[in-house]
Structure 1
Amino acid sequence: MRRTAFAVVSLLFALFVSAALAGDAEVKAGQAVIDGQLKALIANDGAKAYSFAAPNVKRIFPTVDTFMNMVTNGYPPVRQPQSYSFGKVEQMGPTSLIQQVLIVGPDGKDYEAVYTLEQEPDGSFQITGCSLRAANSLST
């Protein structure tokens, strides 16, 4: 009886660890996509920045120029961040992530960008959306 209980507990622990590692790999892959897009935007490489956009975004903004115009005019802190770091992440399912990115904008103010990402059939993650707001920070 003890051996059976130990085997069950060991199996459950192994499943938990492998699930956690898989989730960690997906989170890192999603963060690499966001990081790649932000670096491309900073470098003024519109084609590369556009390559990280999911098909739904590319349907709305069918060219690099329309995409870059939208980012430049609607998301200045994302377009030219002074700095950024990853915050909270939530895995919404096996193929979907929501990632918070804390940004210091070109104006020196703090912003919060919330990215949504989906895993594509080829296994890569792409950005399906981004919402941006001024961060609520207290200064002392």
Structure 2
Amino acid sequence: MNSNLRSVVVALALCWACIASAADEPARAPGIGATIEAQIDAFLKDDFARAFSFASPGIQGLFGNHQRFGLMVRNGYPMVWRPSEVRFLRLREVKGALWQRVLIRDRAGGVHLLDYQMVGIDGNWRINGVHILREPDVGT
């Protein structure tokens, strides 16, 4: 097989692998990343009223007001309150719910994986919960 044909075959195989991998994930949902980024931006500015506006009605009902919500985030999710880096990983669907995986580096350099459950409400994405996953393995 000549080198040009071999290159075409390799390129086609790589394209097929990408297509097969993408089929396992839901279509990108525009706005999910922007919603999470906007909430984190509000946290960085200590604008808990704005951050609270990105929470789903269920989360808003659970905390009642933005002051309690802000206290919970500062104490329970300090890496979200003051991240130094935010990177969006995989979006996936689990039992009909959309989950956005996010890698967050805190200001001390610690790396955290979080899953954001997203719900669509009136044409906008809202955050319905955040689960802290085990810390990722950091290899050399």
Q: TM-score scaled by structure 2?
A: 0.76
In the TM superposition, residue 75 of structure 1 has moved relative to its aligned partner by 0.3
Partner residue of 1:30 out of 29, 32, 35: 32
| Structure 1 segments unaligned to the other structure (5+ residues) | 1-19
Partners of 1:48 and 1:89 in 2: CA distance: 24
Partners of 1:46 and 1:53 in 2: CA distance: 11
Residue in 2 that maps onto 1:46: 48
In the TM superposition, residue 138 of structure 1 has moved relative to its aligned partner by 2.4
Residue in 2 that maps onto 1:107: 108
3-state SS of 2:31 partner: helix
In the TM superposition, residue 81 of structure 1 has moved relative to its aligned partner by 0.4
Contact 1:76 1:106 in 2 (8 A): no
Contact 1:86 1:101 in 2 (8 A): yes
- AA in 2 matched with 1:131: H
RMSD: 1.9
Residue in 1 that maps onto 2:136: 136
Q: TM-score scaled by structure 1?
A: 0.76
**What is the identity percentage for the equivalent residue pairs of Structure 1 and Structure 2?**
30
Partners of 1:138 and 1:63 in 2: CA distance: 37
Which runs of structure 2 are paired with 1:40-119 in the superposition (5 Å)?
Answer: 40-92=42-94, 96-119=97-120
3-state SS of 1:32 partner: helix
- AA in 1 matched with 2:57: P
Partners of 1:33 and 1:97 in 2: CA distance: 14
Aligned positions, number: 116
- AA in 1 matched with 2:112: Y
Residue in 1 that maps onto 2:17: none
